[in-house]
Structure 1
């Protein structure tokens, strides 16, 4: 039972959520003005500015969601034929494909992989600003659009994106890099759709998120638990989408984190509240770019699922409560994901200072996976969760292992 003080924290977070829910950008982010486009450049604009040519495609899932995926077609520094199979990269919670580029051309994994001549594809999960579309549902009017969590991302989004990349490139298998949620949804796919898991040549998990029993981040734990406790209340008052790009708070944060040294210190402290502090890892330029793209939006239900994962000893599906579980799953408790079904070779990369995906939970996961071929505990003892996307040190600390394993599982 939550204490009175904790309940007041939850209530304050709900009020903040309501404020965050108010948008300052149009609901359809593709219809922004030229001024807004300069403030919020999209993936193609960002990569083009840095000398990379990018293609974009729309992918329709089995349940009707329309997902955006990008392919870096022309690299600035690759002057040979690209390696096969292609590499599909999937982002974390409240992120988008932009997160793979925010660290800049010298550290962003999208740039580093493309420069190393890998055919790089960057997908977007349902509910973020690139994938806020559906064949029949209007996200601005239809509540069922937002009835999803990472469960549906693993069941529908990852398989649809895998199939699209394979069909487009004409190969039988691809390599997959999943960061945090992008890794957890991959494991969910293997459990629910083992046939699709067989289409994977190699899987690299960066701080893979499954259960969060030992999460030490106070900000992440309190916020996620707040959504778990108050999910039904939020949805009853019409709040289904939260923390979307272009919200009032996100816009102010994006502007504030680009001003001066005082604001930079403030933003560093805010980042450390979410994750653990790693001084000198993230540049001011990266912080400015990241706050222009974060948060990228998701559903209340998805955040509630993360709160549930902090009290569960297993990696399991969304818990609707006893009665609804019986209707949805045919049993009182949500089913556990079958991690033994993850048969492709898996490489796991993690840091000891990760506040969101704790070392204990990573090692628990490694013990459950049947085909882990390599594990990298990053040498820097301060390597945290956000570093996997935003650290200027990525090129030296994690990219060599990624490059080594991709080369070992690739060909011309």
Structure 2
């Protein structure tokens, strides 16, 4: 049983909520993880009696404690879960909506689109807002065969074929491995199942970074992509505003300090760090919405004009979805260096062991041959306009470069914004018709 040591402190409760989910050992079963989610949800739901009175987000289509495939099924859409094993032994889960609830013809060939989540996220991001709002349902209703990936270390992809693998070895990865092993495995599986070589790709945040990086390891990915769409897209983030990565960058040469404050293996921020972040960035609006302990909002910011307050408990029931501390350090290295390159393990010996080189490799833009559309947010804490511009100038085939037409629009609004159909999703689907 989980014991709450400081029940009088809302901040601690929500910190524990995030920490338990992130720190769940990869050997936990999905049922156990979901039980933890439900328990913490019940502890945080007080004060939100009006959740389900909003007609736009009915209880039947949003479930704080249920996995992606169940959310899809309860919304009335066909739902599939595919379990894959990467070349280095990590077990991943991919979710699929093969057709719309309005056109349940499994034999019909549909254009394929792959959705990839960002940092500390999962496939649930693309279905949480329910039909009429969430991107996965919009694409399905528009006639697409929709696939949603899950990177290693998140809620759905916490297994390994080697049962004796230590936690240290399991969690020694960053977005390098996601790009080298996870993404090509998921995309090639999708190609095999659908019988279609060509696909659309939509990524958010880290889902864009890993796509561009994967093209360095696997040129076929760019060659097979009809159109790559990036929301909050980036390779380097030297100008970011996010306070967490700023302080991490200041201590980037002190690995022991970082592991102490962020978690030894999987990313689990200390209460001290969360308290500091909350004091640094929380507005009254965020405090009112009980966001000040959710690490994802502390990293990326909050826009009260786009996030419907009645949906927040459901969002917080699925985020943060977890990642490794090394992955967070890799991001901080990008802040400090301004370079798009592999993870630096902090010593010549460690780099030689991992890279067979004293320094990690630099990645190359020229291999990203697919047509690319970039959507960026003017008030994005994680991917500021200056860093999106770096990406635009370096990619060889940018076909659209769009500033979201709302001044307060920020990083997480791409997932849960109330006006996304008009601001982002509609324009995306119109562009997809051309490819």
Which residue pairs with 2:41 in the alignment? none
1:384 and 2:410 aligned: yes
Does the aligned pair in 2 maintain the 1:200–1:344 contact within 8 Å? yes
Structure with higher RCO (Cα < 8 A, 6+ apart): 1
Q: 1:94 aligns with which of 120, 125, 129?
A: 120
Q: 1:146 aligns with which of 171, 185, 194?
A: 171
Q: 1:305 aligns with which of 330, 335, 347?
A: 330
Distance change (3 Å), C-alpha of 1:106 and 1:348:
same
2:290 match: secondary structure: helix
2:111 match: secondary structure: strand
Does the aligned pair in 1 maintain the 2:379–2:409 contact within 8 Å? yes
Shift of 1:346: 0.7
Distance change (3 Å), C-alpha of 1:136 and 1:326:
closer
1:349 match: secondary structure: strand
Q: 2:243 aligns with which of 215, 218, 233?
A: 218
Which residue pairs with 1:265 in the alignment? 289
TM-score by length of 1: 0.82
Distance change (3 Å), C-alpha of 1:369 and 1:280:
same
Which residue pairs with 1:104 in the alignment? 130
Which residue pairs with 2:195 in the alignment? 170
- How far apart, in 2, do the equivalents of 1:360 and 1:236 lie? 29
- How far apart, in 2, do the equivalents of 1:358 and 1:341 lie? 24
**Structure 2 gap segments, 5+ residues each:** 1-13, 39-62, 275-284
Bigger shift: residues 233-242 or 352-361: 233-242
Distance change (3 Å), C-alpha of 1:61 and 1:186:
same
Bigger shift: residues 162-171 or 26-35: 26-35
1:374 match: secondary structure: strand
The Cα offsets for residues 325-368 of structure 1, whole Å up to 9 and x where unpaired, read as 34443444322111111001111111111110111111101111
Shift of 1:69: 0.3
Does the aligned pair in 1 maintain the 2:372–2:398 contact within 8 Å? yes
Which residue pairs with 1:126 in the alignment? 152
Which residue pairs with 1:404 in the alignment? 430
1:212 match: secondary structure: coil
Which residue pairs with 2:392 in the alignment? 366
Which residue pairs with 2:28 in the alignment? 28
**Structure 1 gap segments, 5+ residues each:** 1-15, 245-249, 251-260
- How far apart, in 2, do the equivalents of 1:354 and 1:237 lie? 23
Which residue pairs with 2:222 in the alignment? 197
Which residue pairs with 1:318 in the alignment? 343
Which residue pairs with 1:41 in the alignment? 66
- How far apart, in 2, do the equivalents of 1:84 and 1:379 lie? 31
- How far apart, in 1, do the equivalents of 2:131 and 2:251 lie? 37
| Alignment root-mean-square deviation, CA | 3.3
Which residue pairs with 1:375 in the alignment? 401
Q: 1:76 aligns with which of 79, 101, 121?
A: 101
Distance change (3 Å), C-alpha of 1:237 and 1:356:
closer
Which residue pairs with 1:258 in the alignment? none
Shift of 1:19: 9.5
The Cα offsets for residues 306-339 of structure 1, whole Å up to 9 and x where unpaired, read as 1111112221110123413344434443221111
Which residue pairs with 1:53 in the alignment? 78
- How far apart, in 1, do the equivalents of 2:286 and 2:216 lie? 47
Q: 1:66 aligns with which of 91, 95, 100?
A: 91
TM-score by length of 2: 0.78
- How far apart, in 1, do the equivalents of 2:72 and 2:261 lie? 41
Distance change (3 Å), C-alpha of 1:264 and 1:193:
same
Which residue pairs with 2:50 in the alignment? none
- How far apart, in 1, do the equivalents of 2:128 and 2:180 lie? 28
- How far apart, in 1, do the equivalents of 2:418 and 2:404 lie? 14
Bigger shift: residues 48-57 or 37-46: 37-46
Does the aligned pair in 1 maintain the 2:245–2:331 contact within 8 Å? no
1:204 match: secondary structure: strand
Does the aligned pair in 1 maintain the 2:64–2:315 contact within 8 Å? no
1:341 and 2:367 aligned: yes
2:408 match: secondary structure: coil
Distance change (3 Å), C-alpha of 1:153 and 1:276:
same
The Cα offsets for residues 177-204 of structure 1, whole Å up to 9 and x where unpaired, read as 1111011000011112213332222111
The Cα offsets for residues 213-263 of structure 1, whole Å up to 9 and x where unpaired, read as 00012244335766874458738998211249xxxxx9xxxxxxxxxx997
- How far apart, in 1, do the equivalents of 2:261 and 2:409 lie? 40
Distance change (3 Å), C-alpha of 1:378 and 1:239:
same
